[in-house]
Amino acid sequence: MAESSTAQILAQLAARRLTGPEFDPPALQRSIRMRPSMYVGGTDARGLHETLLRLVDISAEEFLHGAQSLEVTLRDGLATIADDGPGLSGTPIAALDGQSLLEVAATTFLLDGRLRHDGAARSVIDIPAAAALAETFRLESCHQGRRFDFSMIRGAPTGPTHDLGPTERQGTRFEWRPDPVIFRQPTLDADLVRDRLRFLAAYRPGLVVGFEGEDGRRERFSCPAGMADRVRALAADRSAYRPVFAVQAGVPGLALDVAFQHVRGEETVIETYANGRRTTGDGAHWRGFQRGVIGLLRAKARERAEHEPVRVDSASFERGLIAVLSVDAANLQFESPTRDRVTNVEIEERVAAAVRTQLGVWLSEHPSLLETLLARAGRCD
């Protein structure tokens, strides 16, 4: 590792590494194992999959740094997550007592959960919790022609980072076996993992996602059109009104990706995400979507009815609705450690304004669909 690069890494770690006895790696790992619910929301099946999917999300984010593929395998209770991104250096750093960046990523909490390396801010925020709660944990990295690995057993390193020699590969690979001492139900649910991977293919258009479960069946997911492809997949076996409304919009402090389509019948499927994570349907971003859509449709209904009273409501609009809503923002606030409910009031306002504007543009391009939407959402009285 170049001297200037090492100096930069040391400077940013000194400024952003959480310090104090409680953040010393051995003490931190013990704390996580003693109080796992503080870090992953519980030790039941939900907490188990929350832990695994956080590692999956970290690998999927490598798409932003050049990765083109993500592979997840479940076999004999072991989860393997691999990407072909640039990887992290495993070279020991003398000023870090011989630790490598792999070891730092697996055992250290940083202020914003990101490790600055090779000119990029790499997400490592959830690695220490996953490593501590594993019966066995292995982090392998192929970086700049060298292959490294760092392993832990029940929160304790098995040794320093190993240099495994030259390689032509690149990327990061996690091997994670949940600890049955921690998790009451350590069996991994292939359907839940598969569903997450399908979303990630839409969330990162251009990323090819592979999955192999315990049954040995290999699957590939790719959604070049993003959330629109996700909606089409959810509506695949149902008679649908076309086309899909889809928009990607950037407003100050917020990136919005939303798609929806109505199908014939009453069944509703709504998926909401915040910073790439699944959230509940009553968060601030979904309320903003409702306000934006219903506000615009009420305005359009009044125009068509010459300002007579109208009845347009979200419950009517959501009958037969297939919708996927994703927002990304720097300062999202959540109700709990599981991060499943967004509470920012300003997010609701921004989503409402963006949806109303973009839906208005879309309806001006597809005027015949206004009647369809008004018929779904209500009618003029």
- Over residues 198-250, the pLDDT tens digits come to 999 999 999 999 999 999 999 999 999 999 999 998 888 777 776 888 888 88
Quote the pTM value. 0.81
Q: Are residues 251 and 187 in the same domain?
A: no
Confidence of residue 6 (pLDDT cuts 50, 70, 90): very low
Q: Are residues 143 and 247 in the same domain?
A: no
Residue 100's CATH number? 3.30.565.10
Instruction: Quote the pLDDT of residue 317.
Output: 87
Answer with the one of 187, 221, 255 that is the final residue of a domain. 221
Q: Are residues 118 and 254 in the same domain?
A: no
DSSP-assigned letters across all residues of 288-344: HHHHHHHHHHHHHHHHHTTT--EEE-HHHHTTTEEEEEEEE-TT--BSSTT---B--
Instruction: Quote the pLDDT of residue 22.
Output: 45
Is the pLDDT assigned to residue 17 strictly greater than 60? Answer: no
Cβ-based neighbour number of residue 380 at 10 Å = 14
Q: Are residues 206 and 234 in the same domain?
A: no
Confidence of residue 379 (pLDDT cuts 50, 70, 90): very low
* Close Cβ partners of 251 (under 8 Å, ≥ 6 residues apart): 350, 353, 354
Confidence of residue 275 (pLDDT cuts 50, 70, 90): confident
Nearest alpha carbon to residue 54 among 36, 68, 66, 34: 36
Q: Are residues 293 and 215 in the same domain?
A: no
State how many domains the chain has.
2
Instruction: Quote the pLDDT of residue 312.
Output: 78
Q: Are residues 162 and 237 in the same domain?
A: no
Q: Are residues 234 and 104 in the same domain?
A: no
Instruction: Quote the pLDDT of residue 308.
Output: 54
Instruction: Quote the pLDDT of residue 122.
Output: 67
Greater model confidence, 6 or 152: 152
Residue 315's CATH number? 3.30.230.10
Q: Are residues 141 and 190 in the same domain?
A: yes
Q: Are residues 204 and 274 in the same domain?
A: no
Query: pLDDT exceeding 70 applies to what percent of the chain?
Result: 86
Chain segment 32-58, per-residue pLDDT in tens: 999 999 889 899 999 999 999 999 999
Answer with the one of 187, 204, 221 that is the final residue of a domain. 221
Instruction: Report in angstroms the alpha-carbon separations of 261 from 66, 269, 304.
Output: 32, 10, 23
Q: Are residues 348 and 202 in the same domain?
A: no
Is the pLDDT assigned to residue 23 strictly greater than 80? Answer: no
Query: pLDDT exceeding 90 applies to what percent of the chain?
Result: 51
In DSSP terms, 156 is beta-bridged to: 153
Instruction: Quote the pLDDT of residue 88.
Output: 85
Instruction: Quote the pLDDT of residue 36.
Output: 93
Chain segment 278-313, per-residue pLDDT in tens: 888 789 999 999 999 999 998 888 877 655 555 777
Cβ-based neighbour number of residue 199 at 10 Å = 22
Q: Which domain holds residue 259?
A: 227-380
Angle at the Cα of 365 from the Cα atoms of 363 and 366, rounded to 5 degrees: 60
Q: Are residues 23 and 141 in the same domain?
A: yes
Instruction: Quote the pLDDT of residue 247.
Output: 85
Instruction: Quote the pLDDT of residue 243.
Output: 80
Q: Which of 107-121, 188-202, 260-274, 367-381 has the lowest mean pLDDT?
A: 107-121
Is the pLDDT assigned to residue 191 strictly greater than 70? Answer: yes
What does the mean pLDDT of the chain come to?
A: 85
Greater model confidence, 227 or 13: 227
Instruction: Quote the pLDDT of residue 237.
Output: 77
Instruction: Quote the pLDDT of residue 10.
Output: 47
Chain segment 59-80, per-residue pLDDT in tens: 999 998 899 999 999 999 999 9
DSSP 83: E
Cβ-based neighbour number of residue 299 at 10 Å = 14
Answer with the one of 198, 221, 244 that is the final residue of a domain. 221
Greater model confidence, 191 or 92: 191
Confidence of residue 4 (pLDDT cuts 50, 70, 90): very low
Residue pointed to by tokens 């051995």: 26
What is d(CA 272, CA 318) in angstroms, rounded to the nearest whole number? 14
Is the pLDDT assigned to residue 100 strictly greater than 70? Answer: yes
Q: Are residues 317 and 214 in the same domain?
A: no
Greater model confidence, 118 or 88: 88
Q: Which of 106-110, 117-121, 141-145, 164-168 has the lowest mean pLDDT?
A: 117-121
Is the pLDDT assigned to residue 21 strictly greater than 50? Answer: no
Chain segment 305-315, per-residue pLDDT in tens: 655 555 777 88
